[in-house]
Structure 1
Amino acid sequence: MVSLAELREADLGPLDSVAAAYDKLAAAFQGHVDQLNSQVVKHIFDNRWIGTAAGAANTSLQNTSNRLDAAHTEMSAMGALLREAADSFRLAQSKLQEALQDAQNGGFTVANDGTVTWPPPAAAERKDPDYNTPQQGKDIANRISDAVTEATTADARIAKLLDDLTQRARTGTGLDTTQAQKDLGTVTQAGTDLLSAGFPGKDSKPADVLTWWNRLTPDEQQRLIKTHPDLIGNRDGIPSLARDQANRINLTNLINQYQQKQPLSADDKVKLDGFNAIQAKLDQNAGKQPPALLIGVGDQGQGRGILSYGNPDTAQNVSAYVPGLGTTLSSVGGKDADRAYNVWLSATKADPNATTASMVWLGYDPPPGLDKLADGDTRPAEVLSSDRAQSGAVSYDQFLNGLRATHEGAPAHLTALGHSYGSTTVGLAAQQPGGTGADDIILVGSPGTGADKASQLNVDPSHVWVGAAQNDPVTHLPSKTETGVDGAVAVALPPLAPALVPGTDWLYNQADPHQLWFGTDPASAQFGAQRFDVADGLPLSFDSHSNYMTNPNSPADAATKDSIDNIGQIVAGQYNNVNREAGR
């Protein structure tokens, strides 16, 4: 049993030193193994020596080589185990130190057995309905107990594994290659389990994750990034530069994993293409300004990717763009990365004296493109349901809370930006308890947000902005009531099909043009948002739905630059320069 005092006072430096010594020993031993194989075994085999003596010699040499390989593996396992031990104890120690510091700041006393006490309340405190010191004391005591329990669990498990490896060395059973590989696998899994347990709980607030992270020394942070990037890269509350460093490792690992995964399913191929596209985009932007940061990447669902132009932890103006229908992981390294960059260009042009970070956030599974329907894929029909948007809304809120937590200095001016089905995701996120935490919300090409009024989005309605091209079909989709559909997407798709086919004006003949598929039209006057000027676009063309974030500096995009210019002014907080137009 590890005591509070032992964990508090533990010097973990010697563990790191011993682990490094084992690593050095294993590397040197591997050099001897390689030398034996290249200078002895290879020459004997190449000489084609045959006969009974040759057979016995070859068998003996092969056995010796195998035993040496196994010995090297066991040494590597020992070094890895000692490293995991140091990291596991360090995480538990950081949690304990954080709790002890909070106790000191709150005027609590912590005994060596973990008991937390505090002065009795004054008369005024006893009458104060918000008086909660007893509960604060209990919370600190629980955190101290959790940290000590984590250290005790790690100590017991690591001690058992050390005993096992020592026993293998004494008896020679570790010289079997199968056993050695099994030992290494057990150590690796144990290390992952112990480190995962040492991280803040999955329900921890990003601010608490950041506090925990800042308790680690820079060397400890770097060790975790390099040895366990999967636990760092996608955790809201970890600073963006650390996430970028971890996710570049994660991206390499994912590419290697999927390249070796054969045969690839169609969905796996889409992910691998996406990972390669993101890597290509990072390579393309290497050394350029603004820096491109990979703030999220993963293979959950249809794939995850968050790419930022500029550092959101230091930028004065920050935007997070959520794409919609048909977005794949490749888009994060393609057109949606370009859209995020165009927002950065426009916002920087709107206020050259302010720093800007602009992101594309694919942290959810938008419905696949309608082209997939031809292949018999029914998932595109889910665009008619808000389920995917609702799931994404929770993750998006958590992400923006993380940006608020990790931002340095004065709070950033934060803008939540959603396009198409992504605007539904942003709108639903804004309706979560507490909202997104954004200062401004921009909805472009929106089929609705599930809200009746802009005032339901948890910001002042004057900071809800809507861009809707007159000829964008998605911004004219009829309501569910009008189609006579009860919400079942498989039934809804056929009646909506004419609205999705260029060349028909059926979608403009709604009985109530203020109601879209997901509620009140955000561009309508009755929604109460600020509508800004965008190009009308070509009649009944999906280009009208795609041209809200074109390059503001491109002559080829001059016809659609009103939209991106206005988005840039909003992201930069230059509201007086936004060209407005009346609601529908």
Structure 2
Amino acid sequence: MSEVTLRMLFDVDTDAIGRRADGWLRMAGSIDDACEELIRVSRDLEHVWPDGPAAEAAAARGHDLRSEASNAYPPCRRIGDALRLHADTLRGLQGRVQGIAAEASGRGFSVDVTTGTVTAPSRMFTESGSPQIVAQQIAAYVNEFRAILAQAAESDASTADAISVNLPDATAGFGTLGLPPVDEATLRDQQGRTPKEVNGWWRTLTPEQQEQAIRDFPELVGWLDGVPSTDRDVANRLVLTTRMDALRSDADAHARRLADLLMNDPRNRFEIQRETEAMNAAQSQLDKLAEVDKALQRLGPPGLLLGVDGSGDGRVVIAVGDPDTALHTGVWVPGLGTTMEGNTVDNVKRMQTVNAATDLYLDQPGQVSTVYWLGYDAPDLNNFSVVGEGRSEQGGPSYLHFMEGLRATHDTGPSHLVAMGHSYGSTVVAEAALTGRLPVDDIMVQGSPGMHTDHASDLMADPRHVWAGSAGNDPVSETSNVTKYTQLVPIAGPFIGDAYDDGHGVSPHEAAFGANQYVVDTSGHTHYWEQDSESVNNQARVLVGQYSRVGTVHGSPPPDVVP
């Protein structure tokens, strides 16, 4: 390999390297899609054609084809990643060379990028009073150039190595030997890593290994932030189907046992009570999952199930549109009184309504993903949980981790990410934002009781990207309404009102908070998503970054997002 010179570094077309990187990455994506399709259409071959020499030969050939195609994906991806890193590295080094050359020229030195030399006119030696200082300055510039060229040469060599070691063997291609399966311990280890690290690990797996991990451990893959959304969807739908079938079987078995007891042993009250409770518990979990299944069926192809767990109070995450490919993504946290079995369908409809409203402001549909995130235990009206910070302090880290996962899995290209929350859900968003690590471009809330701070600048460095809406008669976000309602509660009412204010702080739509208050033309606490309302249209405008079109009561909107 020839020596890298300043002229070579100046002349290299980093955009051309980037285009080649994109080509390799597109090919990797196509291989991945083709492998998934091959695996999907051939996975049942052994069941429908289980016996005989021909069946055995077909199964063996099918295994070899899946392995060979699957083994081609990681090398292709690694070459694309190496070229992408090389292009970015050289582009940065070019900028450094140009900056140093401009500085040197501005100080009277001459830079020859062909020879890599720096010279000074004779007058600088005579006028400076210290020729040694001029010589030291020249040497410093030359050393900087040499260090840059060394980095360029190192990047060039490592990229060449990455390409050569990942090319197929001339006679055997990428081989048909399958890589070791992913075990449970390896997957559980990923739970303690960052979403970016998880995504990097997942991308090192072959499509066959990914398929095996999803098939064998869907409940782990389905909640693993950093795994691509489409893979999480496959895993979670498998969890949903399997769990619903098991719960139906359990509920039926307990019902048959109960009927038998009532007919043949009606005095056995202990067993009757035990079977009744077991039947009801199974049915309760089944009802939660059935609501999720119903929401997904109504959504159709745009729906992705990014998390599901029917145990306890239940957790569920459903996306309308793929957040990994969307130009704009909003992740909405529901609040007070939300339950998995009672609200999933309606809350997903809200996300559909916001998503559909964005079509008014974009050149083509399908550029937005809206995500319903019930990844925490929402407070209810049966206890004092709504007045405290405990539920949001528990939910904030999970929400933060999920949002970091969306950043890690998003495909190349622009991505505008918005954190959204309603009612107590806004306090979950706040807890994530107050860490200073929430990777979003905007925060938008509705009917918020307060966000655990008195200043929007504590949530985002630029408070112009914090948005709040509040209906005039919302009993949750309007502090005067909270006080009015709690005064009607004997003895405990004033205590609840004071605790509410102390627990959550000033409502973010108040001018003193420093956020933008957008116009809301709906009524009450639960109608912010009425179709064709100014409330939902303003949410859509924020979501697609068309801030100048948002109707505001007060605030200072930032410049629009440039597509």
TM bracket (short chain): 0.5 to 0.7
Aligned residues with identical type, % of pairs? 33
Aligned residues of 1:309 and 1:344 also touching (Cα < 8 A): yes
Matched, 1:237 2:249: no
Matched, 1:272 2:286: yes
Matched, 1:415 2:418: yes
SS of match in other structure, 1:414: strand
- Whole-angstrom distance in 1 between the partners of 2:444 and 2:502: 17
- Whole-angstrom distance in 1 between the partners of 2:189 and 2:318: 25
- The alpha-carbon deviation at position 498 of structure 1 amounts to 8.0
2:202 to 182, 207, 213: 213
- Whole-angstrom distance in 1 between the partners of 2:404 and 2:214: 22
Q: Gaps spanning 5+ residues in structure 2: where?
A: 1-38, 53-62, 87-142, 145-180, 252-276, 556-563
- The alpha-carbon deviation at position 521 of structure 1 amounts to 1.8
- Whole-angstrom distance in 1 between the partners of 2:329 and 2:363: 14
For residue 562 of structure 1, what is the aligned residue in structure 2?
Answer: 534
Aligned residues of 1:364 and 1:388 also touching (Cα < 8 A): yes
For residues 152-163 of structure 1, what are the structure 2 equivalents within 5 Å?
Answer: none
SS of match in other structure, 1:474: coil
Aligned residues of 2:214 and 2:221 also touching (Cα < 8 A): yes
More displaced 10-residue stretch of structure 1: 239-248 or 325-334 = 325-334
1:333 to 340, 344, 355: 344
Aligned residues of 2:222 and 2:306 also touching (Cα < 8 A): yes
For residues 430-441 of structure 1, what are the structure 2 equivalents within 5 Å?
Answer: 430-434=433-437, 436-441=438-443
CA deviation vs aligned residue, 1:277-336 (integer Å, no higher than 9, x gap): 11122222335xxx1111111135411111111110000010001001111113563111
For residue 11 of structure 1, what is the aligned residue in structure 2?
Answer: none
Matched, 1:527 2:513: yes
CA deviation vs aligned residue, 1:89-114 (integer Å, no higher than 9, x gap): x99xx9xx99xx99xx99xxxxxxxx
Aligned residues of 1:340 and 1:360 also touching (Cα < 8 A): yes
Aligned residues of 1:270 and 1:328 also touching (Cα < 8 A): no
For residue 576 of structure 1, what is the aligned residue in structure 2?
Answer: 548
> Which amino acid counterpart does residue 405 of structure 2 have in structure 1?
G
- Whole-angstrom distance in 1 between the partners of 2:401 and 2:287: 27
Aligned residues of 2:475 and 2:481 also touching (Cα < 8 A): no
Matched, 1:252 2:252: no
Aligned residues of 1:305 and 1:329 also touching (Cα < 8 A): yes
- Whole-angstrom distance in 2 between the partners of 1:305 and 1:459: 31
Q: CA RMSD in A?
A: 4.4
For residue 161 of structure 1, what is the aligned residue in structure 2?
Answer: none
> Which amino acid counterpart does residue 249 of structure 1 have in structure 2?
L
For residues 440-459 of structure 1, what are the structure 2 equivalents within 5 Å?
Answer: 440-459=442-461
For residue 319 of structure 2, what is the aligned residue in structure 1?
Answer: 308
For residue 386 of structure 1, what is the aligned residue in structure 2?
Answer: 389
CA deviation vs aligned residue, 1:129-150 (integer Å, no higher than 9, x gap): xxxxxxxxxxxxxxxxxxxxxx
- Whole-angstrom distance in 1 between the partners of 2:48 and 2:323: 43
Aligned residues of 2:444 and 2:468 also touching (Cα < 8 A): yes
- The alpha-carbon deviation at position 499 of structure 1 amounts to 11
Question: Structure 2 vs 1, CA of residues 582 and 536 (structure 1 numbering), >3 Å: closer, same or farther?
Answer: farther
- The alpha-carbon deviation at position 459 of structure 1 amounts to 3.9
Question: Structure 2 vs 1, CA of residues 445 and 271 (structure 1 numbering), >3 Å: closer, same or farther?
Answer: farther
User: Alignment length, in residue pairs?
Assistant: 382
> Which amino acid counterpart does residue 564 of structure 1 have in structure 2?
V
Question: Structure 2 vs 1, CA of residues 530 and 364 (structure 1 numbering), >3 Å: closer, same or farther?
Answer: same
Aligned residues of 2:250 and 2:279 also touching (Cα < 8 A): no
SS of match in other structure, 1:581: strand
Q: Gaps spanning 5+ residues in structure 1: where?
A: 1-15, 30-82, 107-122, 125-190, 374-379, 486-491, 501-506, 538-543, 553-560
Question: Structure 2 vs 1, CA of residues 467 and 516 (structure 1 numbering), >3 Å: closer, same or farther?
Answer: farther
Question: Structure 2 vs 1, CA of residues 516 and 199 (structure 1 numbering), >3 Å: closer, same or farther?
Answer: closer
Question: Structure 2 vs 1, CA of residues 344 and 295 (structure 1 numbering), >3 Å: closer, same or farther?
Answer: same
- Whole-angstrom distance in 2 between the partners of 1:472 and 1:478: 10
TM-score if structure 2 supplies the norm length? 0.59
Aligned residues of 1:348 and 1:572 also touching (Cα < 8 A): no
For residues 9-408 of structure 1, what are the structure 2 equivalents within 5 Å?
Answer: 194-197=183-186, 200-262=189-251, 263-264=277-278, 269-287=283-301, 291-331=302-342, 333-353=344-364, 355-368=367-380, 370=381, 373=382, 380-408=383-411
- Whole-angstrom distance in 2 between the partners of 1:475 and 1:495: 23
- The alpha-carbon deviation at position 274 of structure 1 amounts to 2.0
Aligned residues of 2:389 and 2:503 also touching (Cα < 8 A): no
Question: Structure 2 vs 1, CA of residues 381 and 201 (structure 1 numbering), >3 Å: closer, same or farther?
Answer: same
CA deviation vs aligned residue, 1:187-216 (integer Å, no higher than 9, x gap): xxxx99x43335543221111111111111
Question: Structure 2 vs 1, CA of residues 196 and 523 (structure 1 numbering), >3 Å: closer, same or farther?
Answer: same
- Whole-angstrom distance in 2 between the partners of 1:432 and 1:301: 28
For residue 518 of structure 1, what is the aligned residue in structure 2?
Answer: 504
TM-score if structure 1 supplies the norm length? 0.57
- Whole-angstrom distance in 1 between the partners of 2:515 and 2:204: 43
- Whole-angstrom distance in 1 between the partners of 2:389 and 2:478: 17
Question: Structure 2 vs 1, CA of residues 233 and 536 (structure 1 numbering), >3 Å: closer, same or farther?
Answer: closer
Aligned residues of 1:533 and 1:580 also touching (Cα < 8 A): yes
Question: Structure 2 vs 1, CA of residues 573 and 25 (structure 1 numbering), >3 Å: closer, same or farther?
Answer: closer
For residue 429 of structure 1, what is the aligned residue in structure 2?
Answer: 432
CA deviation vs aligned residue, 1:443-501 (integer Å, no higher than 9, x gap): 11011110110000034110100001110011134799x99x9xxxxxx986564899x
Question: Structure 2 vs 1, CA of residues 495 and 447 (structure 1 numbering), >3 Å: closer, same or farther?
Answer: farther
- The alpha-carbon deviation at position 257 of structure 1 amounts to 2.7
- Whole-angstrom distance in 2 between the partners of 1:412 and 1:200: 29
- The alpha-carbon deviation at position 410 of structure 1 amounts to 1.7
